[in-house]
Structure 1
Amino acid sequence: MFSDHLSLFRVGYRWTVALGCYAVLLIPGFIQVGYYYFYSSQVRRGFVYGDQPRNRLDLYLPKNMNGPKPVVAFVTGGAWIIGYKALGSLLGQQLSERDIIVACIDYRLRKTVLLGGWVNFPQGTISDMVKEASQGISFICNKIAEYGGDPNRIYLMGQSAGAHIAACTLLEQAIKEADAEQRACWSVSQIKAYFGLSGGYNFLKLVDHFHSRVHVADIVFGTCTASWKGNKV
């Protein structure tokens, strides 16, 4: 069974062993970051911004809080299926040491089949992720002053899938603000800048690429081959 999955991903045993050794070498670094995340007094975990189980965010605060600090709202990546707010802990540590508050936003993910077993994340569509990221940003815009942040210096950042979600959130919010009948809890004008790191933005240009690797999509996204081929854009 495992060898079948390796063949689908076009990964041989040598590469698997090499990746395993590389992962072992990374363990000391992960331990350091994990210790910082769970035990540092500068990390404030689990602020609730919505009514879903994953609607939480973490704050990374500078040691020196003598005045309002700039704020980075960070949406983590993870291919829309494996992300978690703690993945932003290294970024939070590095920026907080430079007198910047970092808020890492968590959100619901897709439920997927991976290597033959269920990874039981709460189910959510891309629209749900965008909606919840918007709620997290709203919390930051309206509450960050209570934790020493400067509401006039808020920057939005996303990485990989998080970059895509953050970009969609800005677009959705701009559309909402253009409609006078819709109530907005935060404004795009409150975001000083957006930084998208290694994100996917124009998926129409990636359709052929995804179809050429449909067997991988079957495993990662739990989507049948026939469905992908039948719904090609």
Structure 2
Amino acid sequence: MESASLRQTSSSPPGEMVEFETKPLLSKFLSFPTTASTSNQQRRRRVAAKIGSAPRPSRQQSFGRDIGHAAKETYLITRLSFTLLQYLGVGYRWITRLLALGCYAMLLMPGFLQVAYCYYFSSQVQRSIVYGDQPRNRLDLYLPTNTDGKKPVVVFVTGGAWIIGYKAWGSLLGLQLADRNIIVACIDYRNFPQGTISDMVEDASRGISYIFNNIADYGGDPDRIYLMGQSAGAHISSCALLEQAIKESKMEESISWSASKIKAYFGLSGGYNLFNLVDHFDSRGLYRSILLSIMEGEESLHLFSPEVRVQDPSNKDAVSILPPITLFHGTADYSIPSDASKIFVDVLKKVGAQAELVLYDGKTHTDLFLQDPLRGGKDELFDQLVAVIHADDKEALEQDAVAPPRRRLVPEILLKLARNISPF
């Protein structure tokens, strides 16, 4: 599970997004590619000429509208925070964890500020694209600067303990994968108490559907779409994938995207059997009563436990539709034990699915997703993801082999201190 500040995005008409130009000064601090300032019209013509598709939509959001959105967002965050506190209560465990979280964030702030600058001002980032009619039905796109040819796409569902997930948590991954000519779509979804697990799965599925139907307009290849989730996002995305496979196997009419067309699924530090995790989460502060409220009662746990559902003989045909699955987990993960991934892989293999487990010795819940990427240089998880995505592209693999190491964003001493004080 992950913790961060509760975020909520106000709604606006479909297709809206924000685009800003990156300042050249940024290249001194980050290895993320930047583009020179050009007009939207020139850029659209260039993209359309090179990829032979419709020009990607864009608009400049007015300062006044930004202020209005910020005010609405602040009000909604405040209201939901008070509602959430009614569930959590105020006790010693939560106070100590919040203090630890504050210190953890401060130690990593040098990296967070650099990534935030890119997120808000880089022309590579198309923010808050509306994909549905529900609150928080928005996604961010991270686009490579190289617009030659169709790009592989990673649809990413962020973590956040089903309570504080937010699409911007995936900005570090998005920017770094975009640097390797991979488009990343980070999907936002309703959090508890605004929604429960069925709402979250529905939102994730809608976001995936939007990518399948529209990613070609942004230079993406609809035939090379990968699905990935981290922590609670791994649980949500795996539920969405399995649910879609079940619908597809039953040839239901309400299918807006095909699970069989997902090239591969990547689960990072996720939990896939809620029955085995209820007591563990309760001991770490996500109390049983709250988790059951999120999961719509104890009687619904089996519906949102992919490990349980794939063992149901009635879902045998759905299992055969699932794409290759790779689960990544750190052995020192105390938020969600690595056994959660290990057991799920064993079950998937037993029922005939193609599954693989990759364990990282001594890595914690946040090492793989935050500390290691902020450290820069070689990153085993990152390299493995890129290798799988570029496996059928010889030219891309050659470019990966000579790619410069990623720049360090946080000094090592701060990373070590953050790891020791992390509440995760």
TM-score range, shorter chain: 0.7 to 0.9
* Letter paired with 1:142: N
Q: Distance in 2 between matches of 1:175 and 1:5?
A: 41
**Structure 1 residues 59 and 20, CA gap change in structure 2 (3 angstroms):** closer
Q: Distance in 1 between matches of 2:223 and 2:209?
A: 13
- Secondary structure of the residue aligned to 1:23 is helix
**Structure 1 residues 80 and 40, CA gap change in structure 2 (3 angstroms):** same
1:46 maps to: 128
Q: Distance in 1 between matches of 2:221 and 2:249?
A: 26
Q: Is the 8 A contact 2:281 2:288 kept in 1?
A: no
* Letter paired with 1:154: I
* Letter paired with 1:47: I
2:108 maps to: 26
Q: Is the 8 A contact 2:279 2:288 kept in 1?
A: no
- Secondary structure of the residue aligned to 1:53 is coil
Shift of 1:23: 2.8
* Letter paired with 2:111: G
Shift of 1:71: 0.3
Shift of 1:61: 0.2
* Letter paired with 1:66: D
Query: TM-score, length-normalised on structure 1?
Result: 0.81
Task: Identify which of 192, 209, 213 aligns with 1:138.
Answer: 209
2:199 maps to: 128
* Letter paired with 1:8: R
Q: Distance in 2 between matches of 1:101 and 1:223?
A: 35
2:225 maps to: 154
Q: Distance in 2 between matches of 1:222 and 1:232?
A: 10
Q: How does 1:114-125 map to 2 (within 5 A)?
A: 123-125=194-196
Shift of 1:126: 0.5
The structure with more strand, counted as a fraction of residues: 1
Shift of 1:41: 0.3
Q: Distance in 1 between matches of 2:174 and 2:268?
A: 15
2:290 maps to: 221
Q: Distance in 1 between matches of 2:291 and 2:252?
A: 38
Q: Distance in 1 between matches of 2:292 and 2:216?
A: 44
Q: Distance in 2 between matches of 1:127 and 1:223?
A: 13
Q: Distance in 2 between matches of 1:24 and 1:211?
A: 27
Q: Distance in 1 between matches of 2:174 and 2:301?
A: 39
User: How many pairs are equivalent?
Assistant: 210
Q: Is the 8 A contact 1:163 1:196 kept in 2?
A: yes
Q: Distance in 2 between matches of 1:220 and 1:38?
A: 37
Q: Distance in 2 between matches of 1:11 and 1:188?
A: 42
Q: Distance in 2 between matches of 1:168 and 1:19?
A: 28
The reply to whether residue 56 of structure 1 matches residue 138 of structure 2 is yes
- Secondary structure of the residue aligned to 1:50 is coil
2:162 maps to: 80
- Secondary structure of the residue aligned to 1:45 is strand
Task: Identify which of 176, 187, 192 aligns with 2:247.
Answer: 176
**Structure 1 residues 204 and 107, CA gap change in structure 2 (3 angstroms):** same
Task: Identify which of 70, 89, 92 aligns with 1:7.
Answer: 92
Q: Is the 8 A contact 2:151 2:182 kept in 1?
A: yes
Task: Identify which of 204, 216, 220 aligns with 2:275.
Answer: 204
Shift of 1:25: 2.3
Shift of 1:19: 5.8
User: What are structure 2's unaligned runs of at least 5 residues?
Assistant: 1-88, 303-424
1:95 maps to: 177
1:115 maps to: none
Q: Is the 8 A contact 1:207 1:232 kept in 2?
A: no
Task: State the superposition RMSD in angstroms.
Answer: 2.9
Shift of 1:52: 1.0
User: What are structure 1's unaligned runs of at least 5 residues?
Assistant: 112-122
* Letter paired with 1:167: S
Q: Highest Rg: 1 or 2?
A: 2
Q: Is the 8 A contact 2:154 2:183 kept in 1?
A: yes
Task: Identify which of 56, 68, 78 aligns with 2:150.
Answer: 68
Query: TM-score, length-normalised on structure 2?
Result: 0.46
Shift of 1:204: 1.1
Q: Is the 8 A contact 1:217 1:223 kept in 2?
A: no
Percent identical: 66
Q: Distance in 1 between matches of 2:101 and 2:129?
A: 35
